[in-house]
Homo-oligomer: A and B are copies of this chain.
Amino acid sequence: MQTEIERLTQGDAATDSTVLVDRLARAGRAAQRKLALMTDAAKATALKLAAASVRDAAPAILIANAKDVAAAHDSGLSAAMIDRLTLDSGRVEAAASAIEAVADLPDPVGQTIDRADRPNGLVFERVRVPIGLIGIIYESRPNVTADAAALCVRAGNAVLLRGGSEAVHSNRAIHAAMIQGLVRGGVPAEAVQLIPTQDRAAVGAMLAAAGLIDMIVPRGGKSLVARVQADARVPVLAHLDGICHTYVHQSADPEKARRIAYNAKMRRTGICGAMETLLIDANFPAAPELLGDLLDGGCSVRGDARAQAIDPRVDPASAEDWDTEYLAPVLSVGIVDGLEQALDHIARHSSNHTDAIVAEDEAVAEEFLAKVDSAIVMANASSQFADGGEFGLGAEIGIATGRLHARGPVALEGLTTYKWLVRGSGQVRP
């Protein structure tokens, strides 16, 4: 039996991205209606079969990946991009295990959010249902093919995947393996579709497909996310920047502050939850040690005049530094006179991803938690905890800084919506 993709790639229609995306999206929506009715157990079993199929296909996946890596070397891709692209048996095993972990997560579909019994005998219940068709637009990491598809399917959604052209063979091999297992488990093949063309117009067609694609999740660098956010007519779940602040209040425990600040910046500098700006209270006594740790650890520090006065190794910060996500061992440091100044700085410069305070004074910490309007606000912890796994969500499709639908780390619940069920016994409205 031909799949929709096979039919399309044989015909002329495949040359027209809008027609292609339209037809794939309609096929995906039809498949989703069947997927939505599968039980929790059936979806979990199908995902486990998909994981097994990916594991079995490891040799084929690695051969396909070797083609992509060779082409990447030829076209002069950066070492960092080639690293993200390259698979080995460990990374394929990680992809298979990630699918299994998603299969083991509780299914949000069918959960009751709330319920009201009205005096007229009507019973109102809100239950979680899948969103529908999710579009994933991603770059070089082939594992996203498995991760993102598994999360979407777990919550009963169909998915339309558009991977980077540099990973085309890897993505196709992983996708083919997943589909084999999913179909064996009763999931319609069109529930997980990989856009078969590398034509960049296909991305534009996805972004324009309002009413056909219910939500788009971009996974990749800032330029990808910026393009998606600027052009999409479909709702987008994403964050553009992670300009995360840590404010060390004068009441902070010096040891905790040093440990937290160092970890928030230096544990991994390239992740969205990494601290980019450190605000230190002018009355915090251990500022020299705090900055010394970071400088000694190889972090380049750019500060205002008062920060420069603390350690001669601190360079002057420019105006742009306060709005820069370095994703590198670079940090901007400002000295502030108390909570109000810190809140004001954060309100003006935060990207509303994750902002943190270190303070022993609980009233001050609670005021910070209440007043900072970011998706994640932390007290006395490293901003590097901004991760769905650390939040106990089991996984994440992404971190969102928008204000609607879902904020912060988004996992299965964020891939659902709800409907209202009303049960009566013949009631009519007076």
A residues adjacent to B (C-beta < 8 A): 33, 36-37, 116, 118, 122, 124, 129, 131-132, 214-215, 235, 253, 255-256, 259-260, 262-264, 267, 347, 365, 369-371, 373-382, 384-385, 390-392, 403-405, 407-409, 417-429
Known: A116-B392, A260-B428, A385-B429. A408 touches B419 (CB 8 A): yes
Contacts A215-B404, A378-B424, A408-B419 known; list 10 others, CB within 8 Å: A129-B373, A369-B421, A373-B419, A374-B419, A375-B419, A378-B421, A380-B425, A381-B427, A382-B428, A404-B405
How far is B422's CA from A118's CA once the two chains are assembled, in angstroms?
Answer: 36
Residues on the B chain within 8 Å of A36, using CB: 373
A419–B378 alpha-carbon span in the complex (Å): 11
Is there contact, CB below 8 Å, between A407 and B420? yes
Q: Which of B37, B259, B380 contacts A370 (CB 8 A)?
A: B37
Q: What residues on B are CB-neighbors of A235 within 8 Å?
A: 235, 404
Q: With the chains together, A82 CA to B145 CA distance in Å?
A: 57
B378 touches A253 (CB 8 A): no
Name the residue on B nearest A121 (C-beta): B381
Q: Measured between alpha carbons, how far is A255 from B425 in the docked complex, in Å?
A: 11
Nearest opposing residue in chain B for A210, CB measure? B229
Contact present for A429 and B376 (CB under 8 Å): no
Chain B positions within 8 Å of A381 at CB level: 122, 422-424, 426-428
The answer to whether A429 touches B390 (Cβ under 8 A) is: yes
Contact residues in B for A392 (Cβ distance below 8 Å): 116, 118, 124
CB distance from A134 to the nearest CB of B (A): 11
The residue of chain B having its C-beta at the shortest distance from the C-beta of A379 within the complex is B423
Cβ of A214 and Cβ of B403 under 8 Å apart?
yes
User: Distance (Å) between the CB of A307 and the closest chain B CB?
Assistant: 22
Contact A427 B382 (CB under 8 A): yes
Among all A-B residue pairs, the 9 with the closest Cβ atoms? A381-B424, A263-B428, A256-B426, A378-B422, A384-B429, A380-B424, A404-B405, A405-B405, A408-B420
Decide: A404 and B417 in contact? CB cutoff 8 A: yes
Q: How far is the CA of A6 from the CA of B365 in the complex (A)?
A: 39
Q: Are A385 and B122 in contact (CB under 8 A)?
A: yes
Instruction: Give the residues in chain B near A403, CB-CB below 8 Å.
Output: 131-132, 214-215, 417
**B390 with A33: CB separation less than 8 A:** no
A370 partner residues in chain B, CB cutoff 8 A = 37
The docked-state distance in angstroms from the alpha carbon of A262 to that of B421 is 21
Instruction: List residues of chain B with CB within 8 A of the CB of A427.
Output: 260, 380-382, 385
Instruction: For A421, give the chain B residue with the smallest CB separation.
Output: B369
- Closest CB-CB distance, A412 to chain B, in whole Å? 13
Contact call A426/B260, Cβ cutoff below 8 A: yes
Tell me how far the C-beta of A54 lies from the nearest C-beta in chain B, rounded to whole angstroms: 28
Are B253 and A426 in contact, with the CB atoms below 8 A? yes
In the bound complex, residues from chain B placing their C-beta under 8 Å from that of A405 are 404-405
CB distance B391 to A407 under 8 Å?
A: no
Residue numbers in B under 8 Å from A382 (CB-CB):
427-429
Chain B residues with CB under 8 A of A429: 263, 267, 382, 384-385, 390
Tell whether, in the assembled complex, residue B417 and residue A379 are in contact, meaning their CB atoms are under 8 Å apart. no
| 23 sampled A-B residue pairs with Cβ under 8 A | A33-B347, A37-B370, A122-B385, A122-B390, A131-B403, A214-B403, A235-B235, A235-B404, A256-B426, A369-B421, A377-B420, A378-B423, A379-B422, A380-B423, A380-B425, A380-B426, A382-B428, A385-B424, A385-B427, A404-B417, A407-B417, A408-B419, A409-B420
